[in-house]
Structure 1
Amino acid sequence: MTQGIKTVLHSVSDLDAAKAFYTVLLGIAPQTDTSYYVGFDTGGQHIGLLPAKGDVAAPVVYWAVPDIAAKVAEVTAAGGVAREQPHDVGGGRQVATVTDPDGTVLGLLQDS
């Protein structure tokens, strides 16, 4: 079982331009503002901006789960493919990405 979508990450070609746009769109300043990540917390959601690596891709939604390793195992057994194994991104948060059978990238996150 998941705990719902908590985070959406957008790959952007110009981090400064995207930061200005999302600041206006969301009506708040970013809570995290670095050269490699800009993050906004609003309405129980986390919206993150990442510099694009290659082509700008569609946003990746991150489903909150209580046990990320178990969920990666479950979804790969159900036909998904692990793209990025669970790893710590700071503050006790672990993330991973998988693809569904059609190749759609989905994120998983676990907060400790």
Structure 2
Amino acid sequence: MTTSATPRGGSPVVYWGVDDIDRVRERLLEVGCEHHRGPLTIGPGRRIAQLRDPFGTIVGIEGP
């Protein structure tokens, strides 16, 4: 029997491009998502954040 080293909700993570990462992140938290990681600056003018949706799936947002 084999087991996965990646727990449910681990990678891969799908990222949605957004115009305002802070506003979208706050809205997702308001409607039931939980903080997972970030926001992180990963390059000039590019940030990402990850949230866990109510079903346990990690989703990412990317934007300025």
Tell me which interval the TM-score lies in, with the shorter structure as reference length: 0.7 to 0.9
Is 1:93 the counterpart of 2:46? The answer is yes
1:109 corresponds to which residue? 62
The secondary structure found in structure 1 opposite 2:59 is strand
Aligned length: 57
Runs of 4+ in structure 1 over 3 Å off: none
Corresponding residue to 1:77 among 30, 43, 49: 30
For structure 2, list consecutive stretches of 5 or more residues without a partner in the other structure.
Answer: none
For structure 1, list consecutive stretches of 5 or more residues without a partner in the other structure.
Answer: 1-54
1:16 corresponds to which residue? none
TM-score with structure 1 length normalisation? 0.47
For 2:38, the aligned partner's letter is Q
**What percent identity do the matched residue pairs reach?**
33
TM-score with structure 2 length normalisation? 0.79
Corresponding residue to 1:66 among 19, 24, 43: 19
- What is the distance in 2 between the residues matched to 1:100 and 1:61? 12
- What is the distance in 1 between the residues matched to 2:11 and 2:20? 26
- What is the distance in 2 between the residues matched to 1:88 and 1:98? 16
